[in-house]
Amino acid sequence: MRLSGKQALVTGAGRGIGKGCAVELARDGADVVLNDRPGSPDLQATAEAITRLGRRATTIEADVFSRGGCESLLRAAIDAVDRIDILVHNPARSIRSPFLDYDPDRFGQVIEGTLIGAFHMSQLVARAMVEAEQGGKIIFISSVHAVRPYAESAAYNAAKAGLNNLAGTAAAELTPYRINVNVIEPGWIDTPGERAMYGDRMVETEGAKLPWGRMGKPQDIGRTAAFLASDDASYITGSVLRVDGGFVLKECLSHR
């Protein structure tokens, strides 16, 4: 129970990686404020999974792609639990399109949701942590897209690369306040969104081709977040931890 007594805020916690992070933080002892978009059909199921673990779950719907939404979320979270010790920021927007045909407005939407929203949420939470004078942990969920420019993902690639650099800058500036800022870079993760996009059969067959023999699971990312949120990682800040089962190494094994 490394996180006993800690209060965590997980954005985009309705399903997939966000849910995996929230559940694993709770499994390690944290009480969790759960956020998802307004009207989310998934948030209550995450809350029920956490209460079954004996931890407190508070649900708050808010649009964290906007400054106003982030502000209202933080106010409600502080009102509910007094302080935030851990932030896991997960939401992103991905719109695929060939570079030559990419609609400029849609490009801006991806940057707004994935990068600028992360700036809003982390800055607001960091200010609250500084005011509380108790340190804290900020964890961004990035992607292997930050370092591998996959075709037809120009905006998402750029946003995730920017997210990594945002985290590094924040980490440097927040060291005097003992606020650790780190990044998790998932590879291909088996989430409801991936299954909706590619279908169950493709997820299974393509996962079997990866070096680890399967796609990642949300709990793989969640366990990493729980580690980074704990005192075991107190000397880690400004780091990017890739959690991909060797996904980016696949081409290195092409001779086999």
Positions annotated as catalytic residues are: 156
Phi/psi-derived region of residue 47, left when phi > 0, alpha when psi is between -120 and 50, beta in every other case: alpha
Nearest Cα to 85, choosing from 47, 142, 28? 28
Specify the residue for token string 């695929």. Answer: 96
CA–CA distance, 194 with 206 (Å, rounded to integer): 12
Strand order in the sheet with 31-36: 57-61, 31-36, 7-10, 86-89, 136-141, 179-186, 240-243
Nearest Cα to 5, choosing from 21, 20, 26, 24? 26
| Integer Rg of the chain from CA | 18
**151: DSSP letter:** T
Exposure string for 218-244, b = 16+ CB within 10 A, e = fewer: bbbbbbbbbbbbbeebeeebbebbbbb
Nearest Cα to 185, choosing from 145, 225, 233, 143? 143
CA–CA distance, 36 with 13 (Å, rounded to integer): 6
